[in-house]
Amino acid sequence: MARPLADIERECAGCAKCPLAATRTNLVFGVGNPHANVMFIGEGPGKNEDLKGEPFVGAAGQLLNQMLDRAGIPRESIYIANILKCRPPGNRDPRPEEIEACTPWLRQQVASVHPTVIVTLGNFATKFILQTSEGITRLRGRVQSAGPLRVIPMFHPAAAIYDRSKVTALEEDFDLLRALLERDSQLDAQVGEGSR
Ligand code: URA
């Protein structure tokens, strides 16, 4: 039986399995619909997220919000978490030992939310969820799979802020997500009609 998110979060708040717990301001556990169909996974908290205790509230979050709006997906309908729950100082990349220490929390979150689609934002989330060494540039643009889960790897919104040519790719990938969700809801409706 998967545990409720609130129980996992309470336990995670006391985690000291890596040194990042000592330098963070707030734990950034995750936010959103605890039974979301779609779960987004980013890299780790930045400065704004660390101050607020919530993922994707800074500039990258604004671009994420724009993309969600464009695809007609309410932010409250999804669940958002990161690979790391504590901010790496100076926004440096997550270290392998930090990812190893922190991702058991993410595994529990995925089990609890039980999404049907995971969107991985950037290389760290994509490599972890797909258990691959292949980079995001080669993997994006198609629906991938991890066991029963459908995974849509996307460029990290922060990367698209620095390289605007990636915005078009993000839009395409959100179109892919929207099409997948529309197909799912059509199938659900057909199943509903069949059982009436
Ligand atoms: N970048 C991330 O990967 N996650 C956040 O929460 C914010 C910025």
pLDDT exceeds cutoff 90 at 158: yes
Mutate to test the pocket of ligand 1, among 25, 29, 40, 43 (most ligand atoms within 8 A of CB): 43
What average pLDDT does the segment 12-28 reach? 98
Distance from the CA of 194 to the center of ligand 1, in angstroms? Answer: 42
CB 118 within 8 A of CB 147: no
Distance from the CA of 99 to the center of ligand 1, in angstroms? Answer: 14
Q: Mean pLDDT of all residues in the chain?
A: 96
pLDDT per residue as tens digits for the range 43-101: 999 999 999 999 999 999 999 999 999 999 999 999 999 999 999 999 899 999 999 99
Q: Taking the alpha carbons of 185, 73, 77, 123 in that order, is the dihedral positive or negative?
A: positive
Question: Helix, strand, or coil here: 180?
Answer: helix
The identity of residue 106, as a single letter, is: L
Cβ neighbours around 164 below 10 Å, total: 8
Distance from the CA of 56 to the center of ligand 1, in angstroms? Answer: 5
Distance from the CA of 42 to the center of ligand 1, in angstroms? Answer: 5
Which residues line ligand 1 at a C-beta cut-off of 6 Å?
42-46, 49, 55-56, 60, 82, 158
